[in-house]
Amino acid sequence: MMTNSVQTIGASPPSAEVLLEVKNLRMWFPISAGFFRKVVGHVKAVDDISFTVRKGETLGLVGESGCGKTTAGRCILRAYQPTGGQLLYHQDNREVIDLAPLSNNELKPFRQQLRMIFQDPFNSLNPRMTVLDIVGDPLKINYNASGKELEDRVAGLLRQVGLRPEYMRRYPHAFSGGERQRLGIARSLALDPRLVVADEAVSALDVSVRAQILNLMRQLQDDFNLTYLFVSHDLSVIEFLCDRVVVMYVGKIVEIAETEELFSSPLHPYTEALLSAVPNPNPRARTQKKRIVLEGDVADPARPPSGCYFHPRCRFAKDRCSQESPALREIGTGHFVACHFAEELTLHGVNAEGEMV
Amino acid sequence: MASDAQNSNALIEVKGLKTHFFLDEGTVQAVNGVSFSIDRHKTLCVVGESGCGKSVTARSILQIVDHPGRIVEGQILYHGDAAHNSAGGEVIDLAALNPRGKEIRSIRGKDISMIFQEPMTSLSPIHTVGNQITEAILLHTEMTQEEADARAVELLRRVGIPKPEDRLKAYPFQLSGGMRQRVMIAMALSCNPVLLIADEPTTAVDVTTQAQILELLDELKAELGMAILLITHDLGVVAETADDVVVMYLGQVVERGDVDSIFHAPQHPYTQALMRSIPKLGVSRHLQRLDSIRGMVPDPYNRPNGCMFGPRCEHFMPGRCDAADPPTIQLATNREVKCFLYEDEANSGSSKFTPAER
């Protein structure tokens, strides 16, 4: 049932060059129990998701905790071995290679091209390494860089992320949260990557510093021709940074659309609820707002509900929703949604003034 | 300070509070001369970035500041009402009480209760939910175990936990994050407090759960008539819940006022910059860059001279802002700003610096 719709998603519009095609990606973690650790079930963290990442874009991956967004990001970087599906990576020389079945050795050349920025700037930097080591290590390992050459390159990277090269001999503890995140970014850029997966890269930062890092990420994207996969739970950050957005719920994609389209006219009730749950920083909007408060909690990915996973919390749910799982299908150009009744529902989005309409 | 005029409806008045931490590396002036008041039945939000002292201020009220911190100066006046017998209509200075003494313990969890950011670490993993809720009830009231259990069920039902009778025997690990936060709220409400202190109650939960929790707090406030002191860094949460707002920076109150004027006519350069730097849903869609505040929050051991925000401020006046601590200037009733920009204005009565209403 899913496979038919998947083919159409894989085919991207001819205008945009594709960097990565994720096809039917599946990451099931086994649950074992008993003396012999028998596998009794699976946590379907990522269950049959398909999308494309276009060259030079920022693709947002948004959802609540437990929706599988981080797992999806890690599968793409091959930090996990996916249990199913393909990761079709379009190389510079136009060759297409599937990253999913490759062994660690075969992956080595691609590790330079796909890099990661982590969430926590405190735990993702080794406290016993100097900045020069942290940022320079990838260069040492991959290019055998050393001495003056290495220092020059590291100094250049530090300047690019807005840090002073004189601080090269310092240890991470001497830096603030925002500066450490800049270090993490410098490290991920050291090898001229093509795709950077940023997993909640600004979530641990304060408001004033967050704006700096978001601006920096935009700037670097232009300077380095980067493609970002930006994983986040924060819709306002996603809206600022991303060109297109993928919304996930309990391991499945519920909606994909251009950012403006998704925010102004969402087609899935879950997206609508997410948008309406974001607190509006305007006290005068308090009275006008028709907030949709979802009942209950996010479904357990080990024991998801039947049919559409969102149906127990959906205010539009009908009988069909609990029986039949909706396929992701295209409604309008580039707008994909997994809802049986997407055409019939009138949902509220957010207009350019920040009001729900 | 300037807050003497409007204390008729005040429940808690914090006056010149200083809470310092005495560490080997030096003294951290986490809270350094903070004054504000919490009115009855109102929600006061304290907003600021990490390290601004907002949590320590909240903890000072309950005298639960962690070692090696302690209140070194100032008053926290609690105006008890006759209905709550621990104060009995008198005014108690909470800052002067012994943190381990009997008096503060009779107020903690009864008149004033608190919910914390991380519900998993704030609940005991080895006691059942029912056990933890009834503990406060049995301690502060004359109820028997059966009555306390019935009250716990009633509370759990009120905070929206399905099948509350069964949940009494559940352990925190069996509940989801949102449910745990609800249990925390039920615990805090068990003795009908007059003030609920909520320290980042929704920071660790998802947006849809956050919406549920904020809605619940609002309902409970209206129903039980308590005041709420909400500590948060999220300006969206402030806009949705607050009646009054206190903006803190590096241990000081930089601006204070009602929620509408803080958001629509912010006066302090820090508040103004903070408002501009948040991405707003809908609005930031077409922005190329966000306005950001340059630099970062200074190191607590190396505080700047004069105004704490001076080194990052757009309106920095050399020789003035770095020379002395700026005065707190009363702009209107319940409206204060701590900035030199308004000093001349206050003296002359004219308005030379009015930011455009947004």
Domains along chain B? Answer: 1-111+193-294 (3.40.50.300), 122-190 (no CATH)
Contacts with B260 from chain A: Cβ below 8 Å: 283-284
CB contact under 8 A, A281 and B238: yes
Closest CA to B217 of B178, B182, B168: B182
Contacts with B214 from chain A: Cβ below 8 Å: 279
pLDDT at B88 over 70: no
Task: Report, as an integer, the average pLDDT of B63-80.
Answer: 90
The model's pLDDT over B158-206, given as tens digits with 9 standing for 90+, comes to: 888 888 898 899 999 888 888 888 899 999 998 889 999 999 888 878 8
Per-domain residue ranges of chain A: 2-113+191-337, 124-190
Contacts with A242 from chain B: Cβ below 8 Å: none
Contacts with B232 from chain A: Cβ below 8 Å: none
Task: Report, as an integer, the average pLDDT of B347-356.
Answer: 51
CB contact under 8 A, A283 and B293: no
Cβ atoms of B141 and B191 within 8 Å: the answer is: yes
Contacts with B50 from chain A: Cβ below 8 Å: 177, 206
Type of residue numbered B106: S
B286 — contact with chain A (CB < 8 Å)? yes
Least confident of B80-94, B195-209, B266-280: B80-94
Contacts with B119 from chain A: Cβ below 8 Å: none
Contacts with B288 from chain A: Cβ below 8 Å: 218
B89: left (phi over 0), alpha (psi -120 to 50) or beta: left
Q: CA of A159 to nearest chain B CA: how many angstroms apart?
A: 15
pLDDT on residue B208: 85
As a whole number of angstroms, the distance between CA B260 and CA B243 comes to 8
Looking at the DSSP assignment, which residues form a beta bridge with residue A218?
none
A297 — contact with chain B (CB < 8 Å)? yes
Cβ atoms of A206 and A176 within 8 Å: the answer is: no
Among A residues 111-170, those touching chain B with beta carbons less than 8 Å apart: none
Cβ atoms of B354 and B338 within 8 Å: the answer is: no
Contacts with B283 from chain A: Cβ below 8 Å: 352-354
Q: CA of A146 to nearest chain B CA: how many angstroms apart?
A: 32
CB contact under 8 A, A239 and B49: no
pLDDT at B313 over 60: yes
A290 — contact with chain B (CB < 8 Å)? no
Enter the DSSP assignment of A67: S
Could you write out the DSSP letters of every residue in B61-82?
HHT-PPTTEEEEEEEEEEE--T
Task: Report, as an integer, the average pLDDT of B102-127.
Answer: 88
ipTM associated with this complex:
0.80
pLDDT on residue A15: 53
B212 — contact with chain A (CB < 8 Å)? yes
- Six-digit token pair at B15? 């006056």
Task: Report, as an integer, the average pLDDT of B273-301.
Answer: 83
Contacts with B44 from chain A: Cβ below 8 Å: none
**Which of B181, B249, B281 would you mutate first to test chain A, the one with the most A CBs within 10 A?**
B281
**Chain B residue whose CA is closest to A65:** B206
Cβ atoms of A227 and A198 within 8 Å: the answer is: no
pLDDT on residue A288: 64
Find the CB nearest B239 among A207, A240, A281.
A281
The architecture that CATH gives domain A2-113+191-337 is 3-Layer(aba) Sandwich (3.40)
Q: What pTM, to 2 d.p., does this model score?
A: 0.85
First to last CA, chain A: 34
Residues in chain B: 358
B118 — contact with chain A (CB < 8 Å)? no
- Six-digit token pair at B237? 């949460």
Type of residue numbered B8: S
A288 — contact with chain B (CB < 8 Å)? no
What are phi and psi for residue A73, nearest 5 degrees? -60, -40
Q: CA of A212 to nearest chain B CA: how many angstroms apart?
A: 6
- Six-digit token pair at A105? 């050795």
Q: CA of B173 to nearest chain A CA: how many angstroms apart?
A: 14
Reported confidence tier of residue B83, pLDDT bands at 50, 70, 90: low
As a whole number of angstroms, the distance between CA A235 and CA A240 comes to 9
A275 — contact with chain B (CB < 8 Å)? yes
**What integer best gives the mean pLDDT of chain B?**
86
pLDDT at B312 over 60: yes
CB contact under 8 A, B236 and A65: no
pLDDT on residue B356: 43
pLDDT on residue B86: 56
3-class state of residue A97 by DSSP: strand
Cβ atoms of A209 and A177 within 8 Å: the answer is: yes
pLDDT on residue A207: 82
A29 — contact with chain B (CB < 8 Å)? no
> What does the pLDDT profile of chain A (357 residues) look like in tens digits?
344 444 444 444 445 689 999 999 999 999 888 888 888 888 889 999 999 999 999 999 999 888 888 899 999 999 999 999 999 999 888 889 999 999 999 998 899 899 999 888 888 899 999 999 999 998 998 888 888 999 999 999 999 898 888 889 999 988 888 888 999 999 999 998 999 999 988 888 888 888 889 999 999 998 888 999 999 988 889 999 999 999 999 999 999 999 999 999 999 999 999 998 888 888 887 766 667 888 877 888 888 899 999 999 998 988 999 999 999 999 988 899 999 998 888 888 888 777 777
3-class state of residue A305 by DSSP: coil
Q: CA of B120 to nearest chain A CA: how many angstroms apart?
A: 15
Q: CA of B170 to nearest chain A CA: how many angstroms apart?
A: 17
pLDDT on residue B349: 53
Contacts with B279 from chain A: Cβ below 8 Å: 211, 214, 236-237, 239-240
How much of chain B, in percent, has pLDDT values that exceed 70? Answer: 91
Reported confidence tier of residue B62, pLDDT bands at 50, 70, 90: very high
- The 3-state secondary structure of A82-117 reads CCEEEEEEECCCCCEEECCCCCHHHHHHHHCCEEEE
